Structures are given as C-alpha cells and as structure tokens.
C-alpha cells in the first residue's frame, strides 16, 4: 500500500482545502457546534462508519461550562437556518454536540483512536487584505466568532483520515475510533467523551495540533512536552446598588470587589516546584457613573506544571476572591467551568512514528518532541488510555503563522493539512496494515 497513500493525498487535497474553507465560514463555540457536527456526520455517513451522537457520544453531566439555555436555543435556530434538519438536531440539542465514528475492519488488530477538536473562539475575525481568509473570501459568517486556533483544519484532517480508512479498510486490521470533540477551548469537552467510555480498550491514541510553534510545512513532532494542568473559573460578585452622591454608604460595591480580586490574583506567589500561571481574561462590572455597582463578573484561569501545582494556584485564587468579597461586603459565587490534566506523551512511540513517516514524500523532518505551553483537555483521553496500559501521544504539524493563535489574524498554510493527514495515514498503515 506504499504508493496508495501518495495517490490518495493527491486526489483528496482539493477536498481538504474545500472542507477547511467551508468550516472556517461557519465557526461555532463550545457545545453549540450544531452545524459542524451535522456537517461531519453527513460526510461520515457516506463512508461506512458507525456514528454516535448526542448522549450516545458524551456523558451529559460531565460537560463543563455548558451555555445558558437561551444561547443554546439561539444557536439551534441558527443551525436550522444553515440546513440542519430536525431529526439530526433532536439528537444533539441542549449542547450535546460532537460525535464519535467507529470503523471495525472485522480482523483482529489494535484498537487505535484519534481525536479532533471542532470548536471555535469568541473572536471577531480581521477584515484586511493581508488576512488570507478575508482576501480569498472564506471569512467567518458569524460576527464575533472565529476559527482562530486551527480547529477547522483539525476537523478537516479527521474527515480525510476517515476517507482513507473507508477506502482502504480491506488492507487494514483492527478497529478505529475517531473522536470529533466539542468544547476544547476552556477544557470543557474531552472529559465528557472520556467518561462515556470511548477510550476503554484503546491500544494507541493520537491527537495533535496545527502550528503552536511556527515550523516549516513538512516538519512534524512525534510528541510534545510542556502542556500544563489548568482550571477555569467564573466569578459572580453580588453587592448592593445605591446613589453614589446621596447615599454612598448604603452601597456595597461589587465593581471594587471584582477589581480588587483582579489585581490581587495576579499577585499570587508562583510555585517553586514548577511552572505556574494565573490570568483574569474578562472583567465586567458597573451600572453607571453615579451608581454604586451591585454586580461584577470575572473569568479567570489557573495553570500548573502538575496537578498539585495547579491545585495550589486554584486554592490561592479562591482565597483571594473570597477575601476581596469580604473586604467590600459583597457575595462571591465561584463557578468551576473547565479543567485540563497534566499530559505526558509516550516516548516509546517516537521510533514507530519516525519510521512510519519516513516513507512519506510530504514529511521532510520528524522531531522527537516539541516544547509547548498552554493546556490541552485531550489530557483526559490520553491519561485514560495510559492508565489501562495503552500508549498515547500528542503531535505537532508545522506551518508558518502570520499571527498568534487566538488572534483576529490567525491563519495557517493549507499545505499542512495534507502533511498531517499523511502522517496519520502512515501511522495507521504502520500499525494496522495486514501482513
């Protein structure tokens, strides 16, 4: 099957570009990926996969940070406008997005799983000619929502891999599980799929990311080092409003409590045992210039090199939030809305990935590892596989980046799609091809 993959890549490359650009125009935030889930499902239906959606794909109570019902209903209406039919919508409504696709060849072999994240970000996309999606007319059609992290590319790679498995299933053995995961941003979706049991019995697990580090197209990393455990918190401060001129002493200022917490959170002492982080990313407070504010709202995160370090940061953050509320005589309600675990790739997979990808005409270099930062909720899936004796890794696929991830100008070189797909194809062939 050596020549099969190169011919397949050449044939499917126009579809990769078309899928990516289509998905880029229809970005959806975590647990509202109704159209994206529908689009993936419609493509996979043609390929002979068994598809699981809604509560069959994820554990409802294990989801983090599910949007309010009003937002979910609004997004469901939008999905109808994009052509999602009622029967399909019935299975995923209420924020039960994402899907799992399984292909069993019927021949004894390893159970291999791949994860692809599908959600977008609350970012307004740049409308300037230097931004390729704008210049070439595939910019986001939803104001204030954008694929600014490459998940449209990840979904595309998953569709391409599904196509390859379907077309070449007679030359493969074992079982393949493709997890198209919702709500990766904020660490909200992977735990729900993990707790549904999809990683049970998986021998080898792969996930990965376009970019992160700017590298030439054709360069991949077999593993990563540096992802952090993290916690995501929302905080609602509730005070008492009053006239700021006539009766200021009757007010209890939630704005000042939120502001105090914000500045003091960034003063948490860092941990001596490893990397630690804290960030308040959103602050909303106030009613008007002559009103003592009765409400304040924060969105923040903590991170740590280990679970223990992140727990230290989270404990300190909660202490400061509660102390800030007490100082200003207001109430603070802390809501836990997401998390990731620490992540460790299996270095023992490096030789097999390197050897498998050496046969690719598109992959020019395989680095054993890449140094990264940030966090990944694929950690839940990887840890579940490793705890039962399987192996797992998280890969990087090189591309130059015109701007940072999570930026209005974020984009990637579309040639990376074929490279990443070819890497996964060679991995599949190396581990599952019939002798």
pLDDT at 219: 98
Residue 2 has pLDDT above 70, yes or no: no
pLDDT at 4: 63
pLDDT at 132: 97
Q: At which of 340, 374, 396 does a domain end?
A: 340
**CATH number assigned to the domain comprising residue 256:** 3.30.70.360
123 alpha carbon, distance to own chain's centre: 15
Give pTM, 2 decimals. 0.93
pLDDT in tens, 358-408: 999 999 999 999 999 889 999 999 999 999 999 999 999 999 999 999 999
Measure the CA–CA gap between 405 and 259, rounded to whole angstroms: 27
Q: Are residues 150 and 280 in the same domain?
A: no
The tally of domains found in the chain comes to 2
Q: Are residues 331 and 362 in the same domain?
A: no
Q: What is the mean pLDDT of residues 296-309?
A: 96
Q: Are residues 277 and 395 in the same domain?
A: no
Average pLDDT over all residues of the chain:
95
Q: Are residues 87 and 15 in the same domain?
A: yes
Q: Are residues 258 and 357 in the same domain?
A: no
Residue 248 has pLDDT above 60, yes or no: yes
pLDDT at 383: 97
Closest to 367 measured CA to CA, from 399, 405, 395? 395
**CATH number assigned to the domain comprising residue 390:** 3.40.630.10
Q: Are residues 334 and 349 in the same domain?
A: no
Phi and psi dihedrals of 377, rounded to 5?
A: -85, 0
Q: Are residues 26 and 172 in the same domain?
A: yes
Q: At which of 340, 366, 400 does a domain end?
A: 340
pLDDT at 77: 96
pLDDT band at residue 3 using 50, 70 and 90 as cut-offs: low
pLDDT in tens, 179-191: 999 999 999 999 9
Q: Are residues 50 and 177 in the same domain?
A: yes
Range of the domain at 240: 231-340
Residue 337 has pLDDT above 90, yes or no: yes
Q: Are residues 211 and 256 in the same domain?
A: no
Q: Are residues 200 and 282 in the same domain?
A: no
Q: Are residues 174 and 68 in the same domain?
A: yes
Q: At which of 293, 324, 340 does a domain end?
A: 340
Q: Are residues 401 and 301 in the same domain?
A: no
Reduce the secondary structure of the chain to three states and give it as a string: CHHHHHHHHHHHHHHHHHHHHHHHHCCCCCCCCHHHHHHHHHHHHCCCCEEEEHHHCCCHHHCCCCCCHHHHHHHHHHHHHCCCCHHHHHHHCCCCCCEEEEEECCCCCCEEEEEEECCCECCCCCCCCCCHHHHCCCCCCCCCCECCCCHHHHHHHHHHHHHHHHHCHHHECCEEEEEEECCCCCCCCHHHHHCCCCCCCCCEEEEEEECCCCCCCCEEECCEECCCEEEEEEEEEECECEECCCCHHHCECHHHHHHHHHHHHCCCCCCCCCCEEEEEEEEEECCCCCEECCEEEEEEEEEECCHHHHHHHHHHHHHHHHHHHHHCCCEEEEEEEEEECCCCCCHHHHHHHHHHHCCCCCCCEEECCEECCCCCCHHHHHHHHHHCCCEEEEEEECCCCCCCCCCCCCCCCCHHHHHHHHHHHHHHHHHHECC
Residue 217 has pLDDT above 90, yes or no: yes
pLDDT band at residue 434 using 50, 70 and 90 as cut-offs: low
User: Between these two residues, 4 and 213, which has the higher pLDDT value?
Assistant: 213
pLDDT at 6: 81
């Amino acid at each position: 099957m050596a020549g099969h993959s190169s011919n397949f890549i050449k044939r499917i490359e126009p579809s990769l570009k078309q899928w990516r650009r289509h998905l880029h125009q229809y970005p959806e935030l975590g647990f509202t990926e109704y159209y994206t889930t529908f689009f993936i499902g419609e493509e996979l239906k043609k390929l002979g996969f068994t598809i699981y959606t809604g509560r069959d794909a994820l554990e409802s109570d294990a989801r983090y940070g599910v949007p309010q019902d009003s937002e979910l209903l609004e997004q469901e209406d939008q999905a109808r406008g994009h052509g999602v039919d009622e029967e399909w919508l019935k299975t995923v409504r209420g924020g039960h997005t994402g899907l799992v696709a399984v292909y069993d060849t019927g021949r004894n072999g390893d159970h291999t799983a791949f994860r692809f994240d599908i959600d977008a970000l609350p970012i307004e996309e740049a409308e300037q000619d230097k931004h390729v999606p704008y210049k070439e007319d595939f910019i986001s059609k939803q104001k204030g929502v954008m694929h600014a992290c490459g998940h449209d590319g990840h979904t595309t790679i998953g569709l391409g891999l599904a196509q390859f498995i379907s077309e070449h299933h007679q030359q493969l053995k074992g079982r393949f599980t493709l997890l198209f995961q919702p709500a990766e941003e904020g660490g909200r979706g992977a735990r729900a799929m993990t707790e549904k049991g999809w990683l049970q019995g998986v021998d080898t697990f792969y996930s990965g990311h376009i970019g992160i580090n700017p590298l030439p197209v054709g360069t991949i990393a077999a593993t990563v080092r540096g992802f952090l455990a993290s916690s995501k918190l929302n905080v609602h401060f509730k005070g008492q409003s009053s006239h700021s001129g006539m009766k200021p002493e009757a007010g209890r200022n939630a704005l000042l409590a939120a502001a105090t917490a914000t500045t003091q959170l960034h003063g948490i002492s860092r941990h001596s045992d490893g990397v630690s982080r804290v960030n308040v990313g959103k602050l909303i407070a106030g009613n008007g210039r002559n009103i003592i504010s009765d409400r304040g709202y924060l969105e923040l995160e903590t991170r740590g090199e280990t679970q223990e370090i992140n727990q230290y940061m989270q404990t300190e953050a909660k202490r400061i939030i509660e102390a800030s509320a007490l100082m200003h005589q207001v109430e603070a309600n802390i809501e836990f809305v997401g998390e990731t675990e620490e992540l460790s790739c299996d270095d023992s997979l490096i030789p097999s990935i390197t050897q498998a990808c050496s046969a690719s005409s598109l992959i020019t270099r395989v680095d054993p590892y890449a140094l990264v930062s940030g966090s990944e909720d694929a950690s839940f899936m990887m840890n579940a596989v490793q705890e039962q004796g399987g192996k797992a890794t998280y890969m990087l696929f090189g591309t130059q980046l015109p701007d940072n991830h999570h930026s209005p100008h974020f984009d990637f070189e579309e040639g990376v799609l074929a490279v990443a797909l070819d890497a996964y194809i060679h991995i599949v062939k190396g581990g599952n091809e019939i002798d």
